[in-house]
Structure 1
């Protein structure tokens, strides 16, 4: 069940992150996991709900969370249009799911390194800006994963390789999860990275002449 151009059209109002290469990569990784009516799934940072709806199409019980009200409303509307049962919550993922555990957790978090040390609290940049090393949200997801996953449960998280794929794998391993990179793809820089090219080079996050970004999927299993 790969997200393709032939997938049902998704409503994506202004300010809501539209499905892009990272969405496609996560959807492809999802297609290799066991899903069905007996599975409970959480998606962190659902945006339009594209990946969450893919999981819901299998009959899985899906909860999706986003800090953006526009995204929450878009995901709810897309679920209604596609006639998929999708529970969409607004707010911080850890607070909204406290005390619950899932068989599968999906995450396409903000991961673009930003000169601003603070996470944005409004605007479309909330979907991508993630502090100077791009790990502000990635690390929170890693820290929370052991409490979110049932024994044998799986986390699938996509992010840029410039944030440190091995750093994520080692972080999850320290918390007792078995983690590895399971997928990679390379895409041209978008406008956000192009606008920060000089800063990224000064930080040593990219090399001179780089104009492509590697995306990775990290798969971690709760032992």
Structure 2
């Protein structure tokens, strides 16, 4: 792995990872856990459970990273006894020397973070009875699938670091992955991102963000 990654503490006591190439953190420095809980669980997963009550949830994550979003999703799947099939892509898997330092399990009272990171890539793995994981080592530009999703977690690095991932054609690709009524959530609420989503045919909603973040976005496929 060519990218240098290190572990850092955030303001709510949860860890994040820092990408040495971009000098960008994987999560908010004001609180990794509170950011993921707000953006991806409260605005994404829980509404998807309500919108699609009779279905196992299929979920796509752009950027597996630290595994925090997957761990929070697994916890909710177990608590609600709702099957979730979780597909995630990443180009640079984080080495175990860093993932084993992360304190997410201790904070959440879970014990699945190692299993999420140790699951082999490019195969489907049942982590628990309610959570299956499929990690693919791929760029979004190169990724394709016949699967269709109820929910997308869009957790790429910021538009200043990876502008090519925040353009209308990428959101158009993700819109094509979504089922009708499906949701896409992300932490970034910049006007250029909202315009790209609308150009891709998505309906954009602004919602209050976590601490020190005024707004975050949820997009809906009509």
What is the aligned counterpart of 1:62 among 58, 63, 86? 86
What is the aligned counterpart of 1:47 among 65, 72, 86? 65
The residue that corresponds to 2:197 in the other structure is 172
Query: SS of 1:33's equivalent?
Result: helix
Residue pairs, 1:66-145, within 5 angstroms: 66-70=90-94, 74=99, 77-79=114-116, 85-111=132-158, 113=160, 129-130=161-162, 135-139=163-167, 141-145=170-174
Report if aligned partners of 1:182, 1:219 keep a CA contact under 8 Å in 2: yes
Report if aligned partners of 1:67, 1:90 keep a CA contact under 8 Å in 2: yes
The residue that corresponds to 2:221 in the other structure is 222
Q: Residue deviations 1:137-158, cap 9 Å, x none?
A: 2225423222111111110011
Report if aligned partners of 1:79, 1:85 keep a CA contact under 8 Å in 2: no
Q: Which has the higher strand share?
A: 2
The alpha-carbon deviation at position 96 of structure 1 amounts to 3.2
Report if aligned partners of 2:96, 2:117 keep a CA contact under 8 Å in 1: no
Query: SS of 1:95's equivalent?
Result: coil
Contiguous gaps of at least 5 residues in structure 2: 1-10, 78-82, 100-111, 119-126
Report if aligned partners of 1:184, 1:217 keep a CA contact under 8 Å in 2: yes
Aligned pair in 2 of structure 1 residues 177, 98: CA closer, same or farther (>3 Å)? same
Cα distance in 1, alignment partners of residues 36 and 16 from structure 2: 19
Query: SS of 1:104's equivalent?
Result: strand
Query: SS of 2:203's equivalent?
Result: strand
Report if aligned partners of 2:84, 2:132 keep a CA contact under 8 Å in 1: no
The alpha-carbon deviation at position 80 of structure 1 amounts to 6.6
Query: SS of 1:172's equivalent?
Result: helix
The alpha-carbon deviation at position 34 of structure 1 amounts to 2.7
The residue that corresponds to 1:24 in the other structure is 34
Cα distance in 2, alignment partners of residues 62 and 97 from structure 1: 15
Cα distance in 2, alignment partners of residues 92 and 221 from structure 1: 23
With normalisation by structure 1, the TM-score equals 0.60
The residue that corresponds to 1:120 in the other structure is none
Query: SS of 1:69's equivalent?
Result: coil
Of 56-65 and 93-102, the range deviating more from structure 2: 93-102
With normalisation by structure 2, the TM-score equals 0.60
The residue that corresponds to 2:47 in the other structure is 33
Aligned pair in 2 of structure 1 residues 222, 14: CA closer, same or farther (>3 Å)? closer
| Number of equivalences | 169
Cα distance in 1, alignment partners of residues 204 and 179 from structure 2: 15
Residue pairs, 1:144-183, within 5 angstroms: 144-159=173-188, 164=190, 166-183=191-208
Report if aligned partners of 1:65, 1:91 keep a CA contact under 8 Å in 2: yes
Cα distance in 2, alignment partners of residues 50 and 147 from structure 1: 26
